[in-house]
Structure 1
Amino acid sequence: MARPEAVIFDIGNVLIEWQPERFYDRVMGVAERMRMFSEIDLHGMNEAIDRGAPFRETIYALAQRHPEWEDKIRLWYHNWIEMASPEIPHSVRLFRALRKRGVPVFALTNFGDETFAHAEPSYPFLAEFDRAYVSGRLQVTKPDPRIYEIVEADCGVTPEGLLFTDDRADNITAAKARGWQVHHFDGPDGLAARLVSEGLLDEGEAA
């Protein structure tokens, strides 16, 4: 396999922890959180935002349909940054080490357009990608093949020259089917080892 020419990062649970359940466990307790999540498709609501639906309006509309949980659902809007936190420091160091080396680094992320803009002040590295492919802007989410086609058509790198890391197996599988090199992210140490093995970083840069 050829040495990768560019590295593509997913963001949620790769560069930034994304754990809504953890936030709600803290706010309302595990049992009540489990009941709410079993009754309401909150992740489906978030998927709609990731596909381009408006941030506040989508959350408030769902909240209005479920009066018992209305205040808690609205927290998805008002406390969103607490759900999307903290950053994963080692992953961010790897990202910046690649950029320092001159390796093109892209984002390919299921992320609302408004939420991405909302996150940028808290996570300055989000503005540092050479190219950012944000599903809410493109109105298509991983693992739909169309989002990978958009990247290929725009980025100027052949599929086999791309190394993509994501925490979700379905997203990785879809990229691999298109000929991309992939790394199933299960922690920054594994990604660091992969980047060293590919000759993109040395061990000191990957630490």
Structure 2
Amino acid sequence: MTIEAVVFDIGNVLIEWQPERYFDRLLGEERRKALFAEVDLHEMNERVDQGQDFHDEVYTLAEQYPQWRDEIRHWHDHWIELASPEIPKTVALLRALRGRGVPVFALSNFGIGTFEVAEEAYPFLKDFDRRFISGHMGVTKPDAEIYARLETESGVAPGRLLFTDDREDNIAAAAARGWQVHLFEGPEGWERSLIAHGLLPERDAA
């Protein structure tokens, strides 16, 4: 079936998202493990991705754990360092698709506030034809609703969407709706998939 639009996840596909790595640098691995064992920072981030206020969520959590207050605030105050660097080859593939007139969408679990920060740091995030960002939608992957809304709002049939994401649960949810999918394990494999689908010829691939 012909692909009509390519859908990119953002975290760990276009931008590295490794909070533990940042806190290892800040605290050392042992103290980082203690922090993450005591404070569910990823659960807090999920609320941000669902549309809750970025600053309020981080700072409220910090006040609940005064022994970790300063460290938790880093999640807000130094967020771009948690979400870096960009993955250049995947960005090049995004731009190559656009150069060939292939519609490209973003489908990403991202907060409203965090996405504003990311847009400033990574101008390529403005290159998408459509962006489906969980914070603005009030629903996160792998909930079926977020995939259904992309289908409805874009008007592209499920079988004509090609989606890449680094998480197996997100990929499985898309595949269950009939999307064509690629589990992202690196830009080289994604490049081969795009070539195999006839979306990029060898000579245009990044």
Counterpart code for 1:86: P
| 1:34 to 2:33 alignment | yes
SS in 2 for 1:206: coil
| 1:58 to 2:57 alignment | yes
User: 1: distance between equivalents of 2:160 and 2:103?
Assistant: 11
**Which residue is 1:22 aligned to?**
21
User: 2: distance between equivalents of 1:142 and 1:19?
Assistant: 18
**Which residue is 1:117 aligned to?**
116
TM-score of the two chains, using structure 1 as the length reference: 0.98
CA-based RMSD of the aligned residues comes to 0.6
TM-score of the two chains, using structure 2 as the length reference: 0.99
| 1:190 to 2:189 alignment | yes
Query: Displacement, 1:204?
Result: 2.2
SS in 2 for 1:201: coil
C-alpha deviations, 1:104-152, integer Å up to 9, x for none?
A: 0000000001111111111001111000000000010000001001101
User: 1: distance between equivalents of 2:128 and 2:84?
Assistant: 19
Matches within 5 A, 1:107-186: 107-186=106-185
User: 2: distance between equivalents of 1:69 and 1:128?
Assistant: 38
SS in 2 for 1:3: coil
Query: Displacement, 1:89?
Result: 0.2
User: 2: distance between equivalents of 1:204 and 1:28?
Assistant: 45
Counterpart code for 2:105: F
SS in 2 for 1:154: helix
User: 1: distance between equivalents of 2:132 and 2:112?
Assistant: 10
Matches within 5 A, 1:63-102: 63-102=62-101
C-alpha deviations, 1:30-53, integer Å up to 9, x for none?
A: 000001101111000000000000
**Which residue is 1:46 aligned to?**
45
Query: Displacement, 1:3?
Result: 2.4
User: 2: distance between equivalents of 1:188 and 1:60?
Assistant: 35
Structure 1 residue runs without a partner (length 5+): none
Structure 2 residue runs without a partner (length 5+): none
User: 1: distance between equivalents of 2:185 and 2:58?
Assistant: 30
User: 1: distance between equivalents of 2:99 and 2:112?
Assistant: 27
Percent identical residues: 59
User: 2: distance between equivalents of 1:53 and 1:134?
Assistant: 13
User: 2: distance between equivalents of 1:12 and 1:142?
Assistant: 12
User: 1: distance between equivalents of 2:119 and 2:71?
Assistant: 25
SS in 1 for 2:204: helix
Counterpart code for 2:5: A
Query: Displacement, 1:203?
Result: 1.4
Aligned residue pair count: 206
Which portions of structure 1, spanning 4 or more consecutive aligned residues, are displaced by more than 6 angstroms? none
